[in-house]
Structures are given as C-alpha cells and as structure tokens.
Chain A
Amino acid sequence: MSTRGESARKPPAIATWLVRRASPAAERQFILGDLREAFDERVASIGLARARRWYWRDALASLAPLAARRFFIATHRSSIATPGDSMWTSLLADLRHAARLSRRGALASFAVIATMILGVGSTTAVFSAMNAVLLRPLPFPHSERVVQLQGTLRDGRVIQTLAYPDLVDFQQTVPDFADLTVFQTNQRTLQHGSEPRLVHFVDVDDAYPRIFGTRIALGRGFTSEDAKVDAAPVVVLSNPFWASEFGSDRAIIGRIITLDDSPVQVVGVLAADAYTFPDPHADALEPLTIQPNTPMTNRGAMWAGAAALLKPGAVLAQTNRDLSAAAASIAQRFPNANRGISANAIGLRDAVVGSVAPMLELLAAAVAAVLLIACLNIANLILGRAQMRTREFAIRAALGGSPARVRRQVFTESLLLALIGGALGVALSPSLTHAIVGLYPTALPRANEVGIDMRVLLFASLTTLLAGVLSAIPSARRAARLDLSNDLRDGGRSGAGFRDRRFGRVLIVSQVAASLALLFAAGLLLRTFERLTTIDPGFDPRGVMTFHVFASSARYAEVADFDRYYANAAAALRAIPGVKEVSSTTMMPFGSGRFYDIFFPNDRGDQGANNPAAAVSFVAPGFERALGISVLRGRAFTPSDDSIAPRVVMINESLAKRHFPGRDPIGQTITWNTEKDWRIIGVLRTAHLDSLSEEAMPILYTSMLQSPKRSRYFVVRADTPPDQFF
C-alpha cells in the first residue's frame, strides 16, 4: 500500500515528460527536481489532486520560456560558447562563427586581409633587408674590429686609397693597429673557351686572409714567395667563379690559365663563404707585388686600398686621433708630396653599407607608415562591420548574450582576419624581399646575405597580433555599449552613437594624416630625384655606350703595337651601321679610372707643396663629341696632336675658373709630369664625374696620342640600341 501511495503521489508523467523535452540538457535535472520539490510541498499543503492540477499549470507555463532558452543555447552553442564550456570549445565555436561571418562579408574581409598582407609583407621584407644589410655583423670573425683606411685630399675630398709608404708608416706608428693589409682591385682578361672574359681581381698581401678570415677550400693560399717581383704568377679563384668558369673541377689546382695573354698558375680555390673586400663579387685573388722604385712606392701616389685589424678594446676615435697625428708627422717630413693629405679609419661595416643606410632607413620609415595605415584601415573596416551588425549584437544581448561574450567574439573575428592576412603576408615576404634585392642587385651591398630570419618573423607575427587586437578595440567597445531599444529598432542604420562616430572620425583623420605624410615624403623624394635628373651632368649620356679594353703587354709589347690595335678597333667600330662617333678615354664619368696629379701654371711658378691638383684624363680625338661635352673656348684635340706635335692639353671650366680667374687660359702653358711646355688649347664644359650632388672637380685633359695608355674605355655614340650594338 505504501508503495502504491508513494507512486500515486507522483506528479503527472506527461507533464514531466513535456518539461523534460523542453529543458536544456544541462539544466534538466535541476528544473525537474525543483518542480518535484514544489509539487511535494503542495501535496502536503493542498492535497494531491490540487497539487497535480498546479503541476500541470506550472509545467505548461514553463514550456515556452524553457523551449526559448533551449533554442537559444542550441542555435548559439555552435557559434557562441556558453559558460561552463572549456576555453578551447568556446574558442573553436568563436572561430567557426568568425569564419562564417567573414564569408558573409567577403568584400570587407578581403579588404582587411589584403591590407594586412601589404602591411606585414612589406614590413617583413624591408626589415629583413635592414637586418641583413645594416645590423648583422659582416660574415667573418672579429669583423667588428676591422676598419677601412681612407685618404683625405687637400680639397677635403675623401678617397678610398692611400700611398703605400704612408701605410707602412701607419702600421708602425698607430698603436691600435694589430694588423694591416694593403690591396688593390684589378681587371684582367681571361682567355678560356671561345669568348674572352673580363675577370675582377683583388690583389692582396699576406695579411689579407688574417684580417678578412679568407679561407681556402682547395689547394693553397699565397705565401710571401708568391709576392716577390720575380715569382711565377699565381692565382686563387673564388668559389662561384671556379663553379661557373671551370665547372667546380677539382683538377684545376696546378693548371695554367691565360690572363691578359700571360700564363698564370691556379694554386687554390676560396671557400664558398669566403669574404672578399672591397669587391665581394671578386672572381679571383692574386698576390700584390710591390715593385720597388716605381710610382707604387712613391709618397703622394695614392693607389693602395687598406684595412686594419684593431687591437681588442681599441676605441675608433682614439685610433683616428693617432692616425691624424701620424699623417701630420709624415706631411711635415715630406711636405711636397703629403702636405694637406690626411687619413682616417671607419668601421668596415659602415664602409660597406654606409651609402645605402639612409635609403634603407627611409624605406623602413615608409613601410612602418604603411603598416600604421594598414592597422588604421583594418580598425576602420572592422568598426564599420560592427556598426552594420549592431542589430545582431542587440539581439544577442536581448537573448541573454553577455557583453563579455560579444566582446570576445569581436576580438576573435578581427584576430582571425589579422592572422590570415599576417600569415599570407609572412608567406609572401620572401618573394617581396627577393623583389627588393632584385631592384638593387648591384647597388645593395651584402645582397646575397639577405633572407628572412626568425627574429623578423617573430616581429611580423607580433605586429599582426597587435594590429588584430588594437583594431578590434573600437568594435568591442561598441558591442559592449548597446542601446537595446534603439539598436533593435534601427539595426545598422543609425547604430553609431556619438562616441562611435567621433572614434570613427578620429580613425579616418589619422589614416588620412598618415597617408598624407607618406605621400608628402614620397613627393619630396620624387622632387629630389627629379631635380637630380634635371641637373646638367655636363655631358649628354643619351645614345652613348662604353666598354673597357686592356691591351696586354704580352700581346702588344710596344706602344706602337697597342696604338695600332686601338686605331684598328676604332675604325672597325666606326664601320658599324648607326655609329656616329668613336673615341676613347682613361676616365669615364660615373665610372672608374680616377687619376689625380699635380700641375702648375708656368706664369705662377712652382709653389712646391701648394701646387694645385686635378683629375687627369687621357682622351683620344673626338672624345668631346662622343660624350657630348661642348667646347667653350679654343679647340679640341685633333689627330694631328700626336707624339711629334707640340704638347697640348685641354682643361675644364672648373679648372679655368679656379686657376685662371679673370684671364683667358687659351695659349697659357703649364708644367705637368715634369714637362714644362703643355699649352692649353681648349676649355671644355665641366662634366660631373662622381656625383650629381657634389661640386664638379677640375679636370686636365691630355691627348692619348701624346701619352698613350694600354687601358682605355671606348666611348661610342650611336643610334643603335645598346643590346643590338653589342
């Protein structure tokens, strides 16, 4: 009986079943338990029958709110995590929802991702290049202690070479120098296979491998015997040159190759990572032989490149004071050659990358601005989306979505977009880096060392995350400040409140300001560039082609031999259709072949150490026509100004103004190269030689027919495009 009584006091089963069906699973046991407890109380107070009727009423009244609650949880569980879910479950749910929304607003999502790719990709690429070029040490041991020595001329001009005897003195008198190397660059012609090939050399002394850590992969390096005047000529090939020219043939060691028509023995091959200075792309090294009693050992003949290894703990400023003192002491002892000549040392890395540092820094500032604009753009796009979705946020809040959950959802969405954009940007940055290096393959020093490194990747990833979080803040603030009645009614139409509108305006103004700043900077750069292109270089480079030729002494022993060769070559070039003018010179504007020497106008007399200096250019007749330099006064060289004719020179306007002020230089004589009777026959327009932004230097032109040179640049003016011509 008691069992029957117990069962008879149970609530109506159908009503219980209905409530069970309507309840959210997680709440079910508590809802049914509470109903049962209330039912039991009523059975005790009002009797079973009335209690059962109450149960039915309460159960039916519960169905609608419970079903709504269950529906809300079911529809939002996949996209909106509920309290009690694990962090990962809710994160996954948020991500799924974010992905769905991104697909729905495909255009806005695409804009965010594309902006991010641009921002992160360019930042990573430029900072990778900066890291490799400016920040990383040069790729050999103790590179931070290596300095390059530079010479300072009387007019303050800094050059990369010094006189050999001065360098020997510096090594002995500057206490911070642990080691010092002397070198020079050189070009020779290799006769190997069907085509002759120009080979770039560095002539090095025995200290060179100690200072630059140059390692040998095959064979041997140079010994002090190799540098002797009468030693058999030997060469060490660079690894890339060995691979490209000799197919990495290990039997190359001991082989004789032909350079400038002379036999030279290959004794070694450099390691693949060997660093060569000053030309990192040098094809080969050869021993530097100091020929005694030649201009090589003259003071005042500044031909030698030099680098020194400082002692550990040495301070560059002190080294430079010692170096200046040593140079001043030499100038006192040898005033004729060295008065006004000084020397200084700069860190090797600054010497290598100094010229591009401002460019890279400018580029870095520009991409930082691009990244800033990208972030602002993303913030704006995401804020715009959030305003469109005000109604959605309002519905969520009305159905019980907490502001914290909506905020988290907004953050997940913008993080997802930023991560996708960032990942693609990072993925694309190697190609972008490659493109940057490709833009300046020769101008960018250390280009072969540029690559993406882990720190830059980390930087880009952090930038991305930061951009994602920062750009979500305005939307999150919006989501947390809902005005339900307005937002539900107006939806996206008038969703933005005063503060949002103000924030949106601040974003747009910042974006426009940053864009304008970038635009102005770019405009100024373009203007500078335009002004540089409008500076008259003093010659007309259009349609001019130039190439270097060296007539070796092995094949052309006498002056008459190579003179004939050059005359024949010029005649052959003139016969090519489209060619208008052919000439040759030893010094090309913006090329190499600089040679400075001292002269003096005879009417002023020998001033000793105060004699003026000028760049000396040996030119063949027709040079000024080939290069488009106008003759301002007098005449230019003709074929009759040859070795049996009276000695003649031309000067440029800069030299005329400086050393013949207020008088006509035509007909004046000067002393140069120990000869007294060089007569000035013409004044040429001043041509810039090194830089458009620097003041043009004085130049003395002398006739190639009166001072023949083996090494010459041909200058060809033609209507034919260069590739067709060559």
Chain B
Amino acid sequence: MTKGAYLGEFEMLVLISIGRLGDDAYAVTIKREIERRAKRGASIGAIHAALGRLADKGYVDFRISDPLPVPGGRARKYATITSAGSRALRSSVGAIGRMLDGLELGVEL
C-alpha cells in the first residue's frame, strides 16, 4: 500500500458498497447495503460527505441520471469506482488482511 492511497474505514465501506452495487450505486442504495451487510447505521449525509472526499481523491466518478419518470421526479447522482479507487481499495483491504494474518482474536472472521 502506498502512503498516498489512504482510506478511512467508512470510506472503505462506501467504496465496497459501490463495487457491489455496480450501476445502481447512489446514496440510498449504498446506505441500504452498508446497513444490511456491515450491520451499522450510516446517515445519508455521512455517505454524501464520504463520496465527496472519495471524488476529491479521484477514487470515484459520478454520473447524473435523467429525472425519474414520475411527477416531480428527481435526478439521481450515481457513483462508480475509478481504477485508482480500485487500487486504493485493494491495497487497504490487503493491508488489513496481512495485519490480521495469524492473529487469534477468539472470533470467527
């Protein structure tokens, strides 16, 4: 892991969710994914703030959808991982994996 590719835990969760959701990753689905899989709460605002930070680092790109075909329908801001984001994620996860390697925590990982 290079020093520059630093990812916070929450940013890592958001990136993983985007990866899992593919074309359907926006704050609502990301929130749902984190709550469902990581069993932890994540506010819409926190997810948006994390997305902003990840975009600043060049790890995610955004695509704005057409307005939904309903009265008052709004546009959604979908996120996708960039290749730099994938690399950063891989190295962060790899670092954690290597740190945990052979460590007895008494819990099943």
**Smallest beta-carbon distance A23→chain B, Å:** 7
State which residues 1-29 of B face A: CB under 8 Å: 2-4, 6, 26-28
Return 29 A-B CB contacts under 8 Å, by A number: A22-B45, A23-B45, A24-B52, A27-B48, A29-B75, A30-B48, A33-B74, A34-B48, A34-B76, A35-B44, A36-B74, A37-B28, A59-B45, A62-B44, A62-B45, A62-B46, A63-B45, A65-B48, A66-B48, A69-B52, A69-B53, A73-B52, A400-B54, A400-B56, A400-B57, A401-B56, A402-B57, A482-B3, A484-B3
**Which among B2, B43, B44, B58 is the interface contact of A404 at CB below 8 angstroms?**
B58
Q: A30-B27, A31-B27 are in contact. Are A402 and B56 (CB under 8 A)?
A: yes
* B49 contacts A68, C-beta separation under 8 Å: yes
What B residues does A31 contact at CB under 8 A? 27, 44-45, 48
Q: Tell me which of A62, A401, A484 has the highest count of chain B C-beta atoms within 10 A of its own C-beta.
A: A62
Binary per-residue interface labels of chain B (28-50) against chain A in the complex, 1 for a CB within 8 Å, 0 otherwise: 10010000000001011110111
Binary per-residue interface labels of chain A (23-63) against chain B in the complex, 1 for a CB within 8 Å, 0 otherwise: 11001011101111110010000000000000000110111
**Smallest beta-carbon distance B79→chain A, Å:** 11
**Which among A29, A65, A405 is the interface contact of B49 at CB below 8 angstroms?**
A65
List 4 extra interface pairs beyond A24-B52, A400-B56, A482-B3, CB under 8 A: A30-B76, A31-B27, A31-B48, A62-B44
Cα A484 to Cα B5 with chains together (Å): 10
* B45 contacts A65, C-beta separation under 8 Å: yes
Instruction: State whether the Cβ of A481 lies closer than 8 Å to any Cβ in chain B.
Output: yes
Instruction: State whether the Cβ of B90 lies closer than 8 Å to any Cβ in chain A.
Output: no
**Smallest beta-carbon distance B56→chain A, Å:** 4
Instruction: State whether the Cβ of A480 lies closer than 8 Å to any Cβ in chain B.
Output: yes
What B residues does A19 contact at CB under 8 A? 45
* A397 contacts B6, C-beta separation under 8 Å: yes
Instruction: State whether the Cβ of A105 lies closer than 8 Å to any Cβ in chain B.
Output: no
What A residues does B54 contact at CB under 8 A? 400
Range class of the A interface residue count: 35 or more
5 tightest CB-CB pairs across the interface, nearest first?
A62-B45, A400-B53, A61-B43, A65-B49, A69-B49
**Smallest beta-carbon distance A488→chain B, Å:** 11
What A residues does B44 contact at CB under 8 A? 31, 34-35, 38, 58, 62
Q: Tell me which of B4, B31, B75, B77 has the highest count of chain A C-beta atoms within 10 A of its own C-beta.
A: B4
Cα A482 to Cα B31 with chains together (Å): 30
Q: A61-B45, A400-B57, A402-B57 are in contact. Are A38 and B3 (CB under 8 A)?
A: no
* B45 contacts A397, C-beta separation under 8 Å: no
**Smallest beta-carbon distance A357→chain B, Å:** 52
Of all chain A residues, the one with the shortest Cβ separation from B4 is A403
Interface SS of chain A: helix
* B56 contacts A405, C-beta separation under 8 Å: yes
* A34 contacts B28, C-beta separation under 8 Å: yes
Binary per-residue interface labels of chain A (385-410) against chain B in the complex, 1 for a CB within 8 Å, 0 otherwise: 00000000000010111111100000
* A402 contacts B58, C-beta separation under 8 Å: yes
What A residues does B26 contact at CB under 8 A? 34
* B4 contacts A480, C-beta separation under 8 Å: yes
Binary per-residue interface labels of chain A (61-98) against chain B in the complex, 1 for a CB within 8 Å, 0 otherwise: 11111101100010000000011000000000000000
Instruction: State whether the Cβ of B55 lies closer than 8 Å to any Cβ in chain A.
Output: yes
What B residues does A29 contact at CB under 8 A? 74-75
**Which among A30, A65, A397 is the interface contact of B50 at CB below 8 angstroms?**
A65
Which of B's residues lie within 8 Å of A, judged by CB?
2-4, 6, 26-28, 31, 41, 43-46, 48-50, 52-58, 74-77
* A61 contacts B6, C-beta separation under 8 Å: no
Q: Tell me which of B27, B52, B55, B57 has the highest count of chain A C-beta atoms within 10 A of its own C-beta.
A: B52
Q: Tell me which of B28, B55, B56 has the highest count of chain A C-beta atoms within 10 A of its own C-beta.
A: B56
Q: A82-B56, A401-B56 are in contact. Are A61 and B74 (CB under 8 A)?
A: no
Of all chain B residues, the one with the shortest Cβ separation from A487 is B3
Instruction: State whether the Cβ of A453 lies closer than 8 Å to any Cβ in chain B.
Output: no
* B43 contacts A484, C-beta separation under 8 Å: no
Cα A405 to Cα B28 with chains together (Å): 29
Of all chain B residues, the one with the shortest Cβ separation from A484 is B6
What A residues does B49 contact at CB under 8 A? 65-66, 68-69
Cα A482 to Cα B1 with chains together (Å): 12
What B residues does A36 contact at CB under 8 A? 74
What A residues does B31 contact at CB under 8 A? 38
What A residues does B27 contact at CB under 8 A? 30-31, 34
Instruction: State whether the Cβ of A483 lies closer than 8 Å to any Cβ in chain B.
Output: yes
* A30 contacts B45, C-beta separation under 8 Å: no
Q: Tell me which of B2, B3, B44, B57 has the highest count of chain A C-beta atoms within 10 A of its own C-beta.
A: B44
* B46 contacts A61, C-beta separation under 8 Å: yes
Q: A27-B48, A30-B76, A38-B44 are in contact. Are A482 and B56 (CB under 8 A)?
A: no
What A residues does B4 contact at CB under 8 A? 397, 403, 480-482
State which residues 481-519 of A face B: CB under 8 Å: 481-484
**Smallest beta-carbon distance B73→chain A, Å:** 10
Cα A483 to Cα B1 with chains together (Å): 11
State which residues 404-428 of A face B: CB under 8 Å: 404-405
Cα A484 to Cα B92 with chains together (Å): 14
Cα A65 to Cα B45 with chains together (Å): 6
**Which among A59, A61, A83 is the interface contact of B41 at CB below 8 angstroms?**
A61
Of all chain B residues, the one with the shortest Cβ separation from A19 is B45
Cα A404 to Cα B46 with chains together (Å): 24
* A400 contacts B52, C-beta separation under 8 Å: yes
Cα A82 to Cα B56 with chains together (Å): 7
Cα A69 to Cα B58 with chains together (Å): 16
Of all chain B residues, the one with the shortest Cβ separation from A28 is B48
Cα A30 to Cα B31 with chains together (Å): 14
State which residues 465-491 of A face B: CB under 8 Å: 480-484
Cα A615 to Cα B100 with chains together (Å): 98
**Which among B45, B50, B53, B58 is the interface contact of A399 at CB below 8 angstroms?**
B53
What B residues does A82 contact at CB under 8 A? 56
* A38 contacts B48, C-beta separation under 8 Å: no
Of all chain B residues, the one with the shortest Cβ separation from A399 is B53
* B3 contacts A481, C-beta separation under 8 Å: yes
Cα A31 to Cα B44 with chains together (Å): 7
What B residues does A37 contact at CB under 8 A? 28
**Smallest beta-carbon distance B1→chain A, Å:** 11
What B residues does A41 contact at CB under 8 A? 28
What A residues does B28 contact at CB under 8 A? 34, 37-38, 41
Q: A30-B77, A399-B53 are in contact. Are A69 and B3 (CB under 8 A)?
A: no
